[in-house]
Structure formats: structure tokens, C-alpha cells
Amino acid sequence: MPTGPSTPRPAAASSGQKQQQFQLQKPSQKPGQKPTARPPQKPPEPILSQEEEDALLAKRFKFLKNVKVRLPFTGTQIPPSWKVLERYPVNSPFAYAVIAQSPLLSRRYYLDEVPLTKTEAAIYSYLLDALEAELTVPREQVNPRQYFADQARKILLKYNIRVPAASWSKIIYFAERDLVGFGVLDGMMRDPNIEDLSIDALAKPMFVYHKGYESLETNVTISDEEQMDNLITRLSHMAGKHVSTAFPIVQGTLPGRHRLVATFRREVSPQGSSATIRKFREDPLTIIDMLNLNLMDFKIAAYTWYLMQNRATAIVVGATGAGKTTLLNALVTLTRLNTKLVTIEEVQEINIPHLNWTSLVSRESYAATEERAGEVGLFDLVKAAMRMRPDILCVGEVRGEEAYVLFQAISTGHGGLCTLHADDSASALQRLISEPMNVPKAFLPFLDLVFVVRRIAVPAPGGGFRAVRRVVALDEVVGPEEVSRSFRWDPRTDTFKASYDKSPKLEKIARDNGITMDEIMREIDRRALILRWIQQKGIRNFKELSPILELYVSRPEEVFKTASSELEAKGIAVAEILGEYKPGGPPQ
């Protein structure tokens, strides 16, 4: 029985016509099969305006009249009077970051996303409802965004919805953003220039910290309390954490290893839910990046490299946002490739492309009782790490009793690195011996170096000031209350002054290895030259940097000759680099 409308049989043709038809048949046709008639050529479709295309879609999808339309939440538009300073894609061609300046010279970060028409928004709403009802969790490991896109296409085929390609790409962008992405934050999370995101309170604009423009107000403001609570709940679940009125504070790691700290509703934050996201850098910063940013100079880097090779222990101190973890991460890149590293943190921030590396993260309690059953704190992790035989034990931040165990490890010959909130070396040592750390004073000399890093303002070339980070002091711990300054930063010239010719730590290394201080000084100069050579070659990635540092330790003369000849070929005076050391006088 026929399944479709019958077609009239073609009239009989002559033998010549049959031969001609047979020659025109496609290769896939069997011999003797009658050729199918060619479909008539369609005239080119007229170019429709957005309103005409919208009306055509609405006429085609009459069922959308019953759909409750929910427009995707986006930021406000750029005012016409504002001047665009910079515009770059974060998810081309759907989302762009725009830095704009008002007539009063204030700057704002705009997340400019492609708009949806009314019919596209209706299809978007219908698609979200269908996906929320029919989307199933995959049983195997998949790419969530690709899995989502595939399931969305299946739903379109299932319900026979045909959408123009241009409209579909916009619809799937917003659907993916709101279901498997970070919602309205997705564009900012994709922006590589954003370091931090801050949602301070309900009905207040979000703020971002931009690498080029520092702290900026954005065009995104959440005024609906339910929408804000839903966003905090969503971020918490993405971090694998629970948040509620009983547990209103959440700390966790988002997909992509971004750090999340959030508060829920008005339990502990009277102005409503809040959140701060510190973005994780996939490509870790190295010691060469610190030199490029002028956070330190070549002498400081070479001096640190030499001491790190001799298992020096160090602590990085500074205020919030000073760059403590960034500098700590860069210092670890100076370790040898076969060094066993164990890092301990509350939320993972340290990122080391090191093969012999174990990362440990603390865990909060599952119970609401005072016993705090199931909790694994930093103290427990430091004790466990001692049994892993680490060459270097690296604690992201010490603030409690874990400091005592860390210094116990340092006193037994393990290398140790950590960060601490303090303003300078004196306040850092005072914090260590005070409650709740309670490190005995006799243990303090086991600490070798104290890096003091600060975020400061320096004059900008075009006028005004710009924020930079600098190692303002590098001290050696001599006694419980005594330090010897090896380097200091000069704010007048934005340079670093060296005074390590009487370094107690270097003198100890000289005694232990049977060498003179002059030999150590020359070795530090040579290492400064190697670092400058690496910088001149444009190498900064850990995977390229570490083998060169390892090669110098194994074959120093060969690498030194190669570096010297290449620098001289570029017109750089090697003799001046090797003779740059000039003591900067007594520590200040």
C-alpha cells in the first residue's frame, strides 16, 4: 500500500532518449532503474529584517504562544555618552568585554552579550523547560558543554523544531550559559584578564579586578533576592558544597579550580547573599614572570635560586591581595625536577606542573555538632604529609596549630614554604610565637628567608598612579627577634638594593661546603646571567624553564658559556652583569 501521494508515471521515451537519460543518471542508481526527475531550482531567499524574521518564526511556531517567556539575565547597555577604551571577545561572537569611560573619567567593565528577539527568547524558554524535564545525568565521564549541546539538538529533532542557524547559535549560547555554565557570570569567568569577581550584596553592582585596569564596577547588578539566592546555591553546588540557612558560609573550588567564598541570604550578611571568586590561573606564573613584572630583580631571583637549591626554608608575608600565593607558586618553580613536593591548602590555589607533586586539601565537617565529625584540618594534613617523606612541604597559608607542626618538620631537615598575613618580618615572627600558632622561639632560627611583598602605587607614565606588586624586603632570620636584610626596595627609583655580602645563611653554606664567600658571590652573579639569558630568549613557561635550570645545575660551565655568547651577540655586556653586585649599605 502506498505511504505517500501517488505520482504520475512518465511517458515512454525513444531509445536515444533512454540512452541520454541513462548517461545522466547518478552512479548510485542501478542499471535499468528509471531516473528521478531533477527538482526545480529554488529562487534565492530574500534577505529579511530582524522584525520580519521574528514574525516568520512566530508564525511557524504557534505553540510558543503558551510558553512563559523568561529572558536571559544580562547586564545594562553602554550609555551613548561613554567612550569605549577597549573591546575584546571573551566568547566570540556572543560575548565581548568592553572597558568604557564616562565623561567624568570613571571607568566601568561592560559584559556585552548578543540580545535575543522575542521569538528567540520564547524558543530559549521552551528549550530550557524541556531540558530541565528530560535532561539525564550521563553515566560516564563526558564534556558537560558538548553533552548539553547534543541533548539540546535531540530535543529539537524530537519536537520537530527547525530554527535558523543564526537564531539557534544565540539560543544555544544562552541555554548553555545558564544550565551548564556560570550563568550571568560566565562571560567574566571566561575573561583571562579578570583575576577576582566580587558580588558584594543584593542590588549592588558586581566588581571585578582587571589585570590592566584594576578594580572596576561592572554593568551587572542582581536586584531580585530569589535570583541572587539561586545563583549562590548554584555556585555552591558546582563547587560540590552544601549551603543553607543552617550553614550560610561556603568555601569551595569551582570547575576550573577557581576559589569560591560565599554567604547565603541574610544569616551572616545583612545586605543579602554575597560571593567572591578568585580565578585560578591554568598557566602558572614562574620566576621569569616575577622578573617581567619587576616584582623582583635578577639578583634576588638568583640569590633565592641558590638558597632554594640548598634546601632553604622561606615564608612569604603580606596583606590580602599582595600576591603572596603568586610569589610562593613562582618560588616553587626554582626547585629541582626530582624534588618531592607536598602542598597543603584549605582551597587549592597552588598550581605546579611538577610530576613529583602531591596536593592535599582540607575538608570541612559533615556534622552540625560540636564534635565536628569528619573534619580534616590543616593540622591533620601536615601530620599526614610528614609520613610522605617530602623534600619540600608547602603550606598555602598558616594561621593556627599547623604552623607548629610545619616548624617541627623544618627543624628535622625538611624544606618548608608557606604564606602568612603580616606587614613585615617583625610582625610575622611575632605572630608565629603568639596564639594560636605557638611556635617556640627556639624554632624560629630554622626559618631562613622572609619575603615581604606589598601592593603599592607608583607613578604611571601618563600621569596618576598605577598599582604594582613588589618584594619590598627580603630578610634572613638570624635569631628569635633578629633578622638580617639582604635586599630592600627603593621607592624613589623603583629598584632593589642588595646588601647580602655578610649574609649569615650564605656564610653557613660556605662553611658546610668548604668554599669561600667570593665563590658564592660569583655563583649568584652567574645565575643572574642565566636568568637574564632565559628572559631574553622569551622563555617563561615552567615546562621550558625547569629543564634549563636543571641543565645548569648538572653542566654549569657549558650552559654558562652558551648564555654568555648569546647575550654578547645581542649586544648585552656580560661583564657588567657579572660585576653588578654592589652592596647597598647597612640594612634599613
Q: DSSP letter string over 76-96?
A: PPPPTTSEEEEEEEEETTTEE
DSSP SS3 for 431: helix
- Residue 66, judged by CB atoms within 10 A of its CB (0-12, 13-18, 19+), counts as exposed
CB-CB neighbours of 132 under 10 Å: 9
* Residues contacting residue 189 through CB under 8 Å, at least 6 positions apart: 181, 182, 197, 256, 258, 277, 279
Partners of 208 in beta bridges: 197, 216
Distances from the Cα of 571 to the Cα of 526, 532, 564, 576, angstroms: 18, 13, 11, 12
The single-letter DSSP state of residue 166 is H
- List per-residue pLDDT tens for the chain, 588 residues long: 444 444 344 444 444 443 333 333 444 455 555 555 555 555 555 555 656 656 655 566 665 666 778 889 999 999 999 999 999 999 999 999 999 999 998 999 999 999 998 888 888 888 888 888 887 777 777 777 788 878 888 877 777 777 888 888 999 899 889 988 899 999 999 999 999 999 999 999 999 999 888 899 999 999 999 999 999 999 999 998 999 999 999 988 898 889 899 999 999 999 999 999 999 887 888 999 999 999 999 999 999 999 999 989 999 999 988 989 999 999 998 988 889 999 998 877 888 778 899 999 888 766 555 556 678 888 889 889 988 989 999 998 888 888 988 898 888 888 899 999 999 999 999 999 999 899 999 999 999 999 999 999 888 777 778 889 999 999 999 988 899 999 999 999 999 999 998 899 999 999 999 999 999 999 999 999 999 999 999 999 888 898 999 999 999 999 999 999 999 998 888 887 786 544 443 333
* Residues contacting residue 226 through CB under 8 Å, at least 6 positions apart: none
- Residue 67, judged by CB atoms within 10 A of its CB (0-12, 13-18, 19+), counts as middle
Kindly list the structural domains of the chain, giving each domain's residue range(s) and its CATH number in brackets, ordered by start: 287-365+373-578 (3.40.50.300)
- How crowded is the C-beta side of 426, counted as CA atoms within 13 Å? 1
Mean pLDDT of the chain: 85
Task: Give which of 453, 501, 451 is closest to 476, Cα–Cα.
Answer: 451
Question: For the chain, how far is it from start to end, CA to CA, in angstroms?
Answer: 101
Rounded CA-CA distance 578/518 in Å is: 13
> Which pTM value belongs to this model?
0.79
pLDDT single digits (tens) 520-549: 999 999 999 999 999 999 999 888 898 999
Yes or no: say if 75 and 110 are a contact pair by the CB < 8 Å rule: yes
